[in-house]
Every structure is written in C-alpha cells, then in structure tokens.
A and B are shown apart, each in its own frame.
Chain A
Amino acid sequence: EPEVTQTPSHQVTQMGQEVILRCVPISNHLYFYWYRQILGQKVEFLVSFYNNEISEKSEIFDDQFSVERPDGSNFTLKIRSTKLEDSAMYFCASMDLLGTGANVLTFGAGSRLTVL
C-alpha cells in the first residue's frame, strides 16, 4: 500500500539551529501538507502546498518556517532558527482528489523534533 515517508524519525537540535524535515508523498498525489503535534496536544495544521506554491498557512507558520518541493518527489519543511517551543512531532500528509482515496489525507509516521 502506498505510504508517505518521512525522515528523520527523530532529530535533536540546539536552539537557534536550522532544521530540515523531509517527506516523500505518495507518488500520484498533488496536495501536500505539514501538521504538527506538540506532546499531549491536538494535531494542528501548519501549511498546505499545491501547484508549487503555498495555498494556505496557519498563524503558527511564521517567517521562520518555509516549505519547498525541490524535485518531483520530495517535500521539505525548513525551520530557520529553532525555538524550544518548536519541539513537536511534525507530520507530512498528501492527498489526491481522484480515485478511491479521494479527499483523504494520508499521513506519514512523523518526525520528532527536540529542541534543547
């Protein structure tokens, strides 16, 4: 079964450092998302990406965050200068509008970010 792949599974970084989280969405999907889940809290929307540009972003997604689809397969989330409060599980998701899985977000297993 097709799946969304995320790397790394866990990253520990020092406050102020840059972090890049990587995702390989399902190959025929056209819509890409990043969500995050702070420990013990709700899963919350960060950003959506379609047709090589951001289609919507939340208040959380400020100037320190950026997303990119550098090639035909990868989708990345960059945090330029990490803060302690960025510690969370970051989930990548992708979606297609056609077929049996239409309108369903498929999530990856997540990347746990720990900022010290």
Chain B
Amino acid sequence: EDQVTQSPEALRLQEGESSSLNCSYTVSGLRGLFWYRQDPGKGPEFLFTLYSAGEEKEKERLKATLTKKESFLHITAPKPEDSATYLCAVRVSMEYGNKLVFGAGTILRVKS
C-alpha cells in the first residue's frame, strides 16, 4: 500500500533559524513527489515536483531534495510568512491523470 509519513508533526522556529522537514514514502513505483503549502482554511498551493533520486528544486528560502526513500524540504532563514502546513504527496499512476496520496503534513510556525 502506498504510504507517506511526514515528520515532525509540528515545528517552531525563530526567524532566521534554518531547519528541514522530512517526508518518507513507500510506493510501488515513484511517479513524482510533490510538496504543497497549505494555509489555514485554504487549499494546497503547489511548491515543487521531484521525479528522481538526487533531484533538487529551489524557490526563495525553500529547497526540496529527493532520495530513493525520502524527501526533505529545507527552509533557510525562515520568515514569519513561511508559517503554514507543508504537505508532501506522492503520485500514484492511474490510467488517466494523477492520484495523489498525501502525508499528514508538518505545521510550521516561525516567530519573529
């Protein structure tokens, strides 16, 4: 069964304090790993897609990396506006389109 586990469940950082979020996955064949950001009461907002081990993507203070068993979302010098829930999801191939299996998310709070 395809499974996604994220850790930690919650993370509190001071502004400027860098850290990493973890996403470990078990899938029959990885067809893409996705990172989304979700603000309270809103829908998931796309951040990154990674397809193969060793791949890295960056956007502002965020950097996502991928190994054969897990992905990391590195946050460098975070700001309060980075506070959100970060969701990891793996793509399970269907005959038509995508089905995403989500992890429970990591709630990030950045204090100034």
Contact = CB atoms under 8 A, between A and B. Distances in A.
A31 interface: yes
A31 B43 contact: no
Interface of A: 4, 31, 33, 35, 41-45, 48, 50-51, 55-56, 89, 91, 93, 95, 97, 103-110, 112
Contact of A50 (B49, B96, B100): B96
B45 A107 contact: yes
B97 A43 contact: no
Interface stretch (B13-21, B68-76, B87-95): B87-95
Nearest to B104: A42
Contact of A45 (B42, B101, B103): B101
Contact of A103 (B36, B42, B43, B49): B49
A89 B85 CA distance: 15
A95 B44 contact: no
Contacts, number: 69
B26 interface: no
Interface of B: 32, 34, 36, 41-46, 49, 87, 89, 91, 94-105
Given A43-B44, A43-B87, A105 B98 contact: yes
Closest 10 CB pairs of A and B: A107-B43, A31-B97, A50-B96, A55-B96, A43-B102, A107-B44, A56-B94, A109-B43, A42-B102, A110-B43
A48 B104 contact: no
Contacts of A107: 36, 43-45
A105 B46 contact: yes
B103 A42 contact: yes
A34 B49 CA distance: 20
20 contacts: A33-B98, A43-B44, A43-B89, A45-B100, A45-B101, A48-B96, A48-B97, A48-B99, A50-B96, A50-B97, A51-B96, A55-B94, A103-B91, A103-B98, A104-B34, A104-B46, A105-B98, A105-B100, A107-B43, A109-B43
B96 A110 contact: no
